[in-house]
């Protein structure tokens, strides 16, 4: 199933690809739109003219992608592929702003998220699957914007934005 969302007649913010029907029970489309919006707003990017592709898949598919792109042949919860190199020049710094949209929808990149891993992690944490998935989409979207968690300083910046974005939706601090 593949669909492009146009909430309220506005330009796209999320392009959804669902490869595993189990995502349908979560209303993945609405979760993705909300998570991408709050991530972009928390990062100060704004939502006008940007689009993110979110793919809901399973462990087998994400393991394949993880192996192909990261040489790690195992399932993971979320992967992201930024359209732009926006990493900050200094550790703990702010990433470079993405280019202004040149058309109706400027792609910031792609996110893949795995059903089984998300379900297992949510169960282990004792939280709702929808809250965990929302967090991981926010997390993936921030990666698209140049944020990372490779160093303690970078992780602090990224985690604080995640906490801010999730709080704006009434969701608890995941850390």
Instruction: Say which CATH architecture domain 2-167 belongs to.
Output: 3-Layer(aba) Sandwich (3.40)
Q: What is the pLDDT of residue 65?
A: 98
Antiparallel, parallel or unpaired: β 106-114 and 2-4? unpaired
Q: What is the pLDDT of residue 11?
A: 52
Mean pLDDT taken over the chain: 92
Residue 88 has pLDDT above 60, yes or no: yes
To which H or E segment does residue 41 belong?
helix 28-42
pLDDT category, 2, cuts 50, 70, 90? very low
Query: 15: which DSSP letter?
Result: E
* This model's pTM is above 0.75: yes
Amino acid 8: pLDDT: 47
Q: Specify whether the CB–CB gap between 130 and 169 falls below 8 A.
A: no
Three-class SS state of 38: helix
Residue 74 CB coordination number (10 Å): 11
Arithmetic mean of pLDDT, 65-86: 97
pLDDT in tens, 109-140: 999 999 999 999 999 999 999 999 999 999 99
Tens of pLDDT along 4-55? 444 444 557 999 999 999 999 999 999 999 999 999 999 999 888 899 999 9
* Domain extent listing, the chain: 2-167
State the pLDDT at residue 28. Answer: 93
> Distance between CA 134 and CA 170 in Å, rounded?
11
Both structure tokens of 58: 């399973």
- Model pLDDT, residue 50: 93
């Amino acid at each position: 199933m593949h669909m492009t969302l146009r909430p309220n007649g506005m330009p796209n913010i999320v392009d959804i690809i669902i490869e595993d029907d189990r995502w349908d029970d979560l209303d993945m489309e609405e979760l993705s739109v909300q998570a991408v919006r709050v991530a972009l707003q928390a990062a100060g990017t704004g939502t006008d003219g940007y689009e993110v592709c979110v793919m809901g898949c399973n462990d087998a598919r994400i393991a394949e992608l993880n192996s192909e792109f990261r040489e790690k042949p195992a399932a993971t919860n979320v992967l992201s592929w930024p359209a732009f190199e926006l990493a900050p020049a200094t550790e703990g710094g702010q990433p470079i702003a993405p280019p202004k949209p040149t058309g109706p929808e400027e792609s910031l990149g792609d996110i893949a998220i795995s059903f089984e891993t998300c379900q297992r992690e949510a169960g282990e944490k004792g939280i709702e699957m929808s809250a965990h998935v929302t967090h991981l989409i926010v997390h993936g979207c921030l990666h698209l914007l140049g944020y990372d968690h490779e160093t303690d300083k970078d992780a602090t910046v990224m985690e604080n934005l995640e906490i801010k974005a999730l709080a704006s939706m009434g969701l608890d601090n995941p850390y």
